[in-house]
Amino acid sequence: MFNWLHRLGSSKIFFEISGRWQVSLLSLSLLMLAGGSVWALLFVPPDYQQGNSVRIMYIHVPAAILAQSGYVMMAGAAAIFLIWRIKLADIAVKCIAPVGASITFLALVTGAIWGKPTWGAWWVWDARLTSTLVLFFLYVGVIALRAAMERQASAGRACAILALVGVVNLPVIKFSVEWWYTLHQPASFSLMEKPAMPAEMWLPLLVMVFAFYLFFFAILILRIRNEILVREKNADWVKRWLEVR
């Protein structure tokens, strides 16, 4: 098992294995996104209070979940990079940051669009919105730090340190802001409890959450493969691979 993981840590082997998976992963995620959206937009009954505006939940909630777990994944990759110096982990940190930032931005924007009909305002200074905004700033910080540093090796380690400091801070920020002021409903979904909404509403949500995760990984693999090619452009196997194409 460990041996297998270690092999996967090599850029070349990851490139070969992910090449076999990327098309099916991307098509499965797009299929699920399309299916889940159609289900959520056309067949789910409207909410008895919020009416049809509740349907934005099927984009907003998966994006918000993924925004946070994306940061944790990035920090996990950062830890792997700092401890074992696996180059692939640094590539993962670099590639997760912009994708995670976009997903966080999507969560903020859909939240604003949902907030307008529900709360009557595009933005409220509420705990969950604020902590998502801070999460967005954390992502931006990692991207900005990488962009500012010229040497790739030191940029990778600096970003890894920053991502780890951020993940230690994230619970403190969340706790402090939640304690500060809250208007937002509590999380719609949790692993432990039965959802408070009926099955015909949460089943499509579950599909959308999985679809978002798959899409995230599919995009991530595309970006990682791209980055591997750029970084290893002088390696023999990349030249051979390019010739075959």
Q: Given the rule CB under 8 A, which of 43-51, 60-68, 95-103, 146-154 is the region that contacts another protein? A: 146-154
Min dist CB 95 to another protein, Å, is 20
Long-range contacts of 118-124 (CB under 8 A, 24+ apart): 118/50, 118/53, 119/183, 124/183
Sign of the dihedral through C-alpha 148, 152, 155, 156: positive
Q: Taking CB under 8 A as the rule, does residue 222 contact another protein?
A: no
**122 SS3 class:** coil
**51 SS3 class:** strand
Q: Taking CB under 8 A as the rule, does residue 169 contact another protein?
A: yes
Min dist CB 146 to another protein, Å, is 11
Phi, psi of 47 (to 5 degrees): -70, 145
Among 73, 93, 95, 134, binds another protein (CB under 8 A): 134
Among 53, 141, 232, 235, binds another protein (CB under 8 A): 141
Site size for another protein (CB under 8 A): 29
Q: Taking CB under 8 A as the rule, does residue 173 contact another protein?
A: yes
Q: Which tokens go with 65?
A: 């979940």
Residue 92 near residue 52 (C-beta atoms within 8 A): no
Phi, psi of 46 (to 5 degrees): -65, 150
Between 15 and 139, whose beta carbon lies closer to another protein? 139
- Amino acid, single-letter form, for residue 171: P
Q: Given the rule CB under 8 A, which of 9-17, 35-43, 153-161, 183-191 is the region that contacts another protein? A: 153-161
For another protein, the binding residues (CB under 8 A) are: 82, 130, 134, 137-138, 140-141, 144-145, 148-149, 151, 154, 157-158, 161-162, 164-166, 168-169, 172-173, 175-177, 179-180
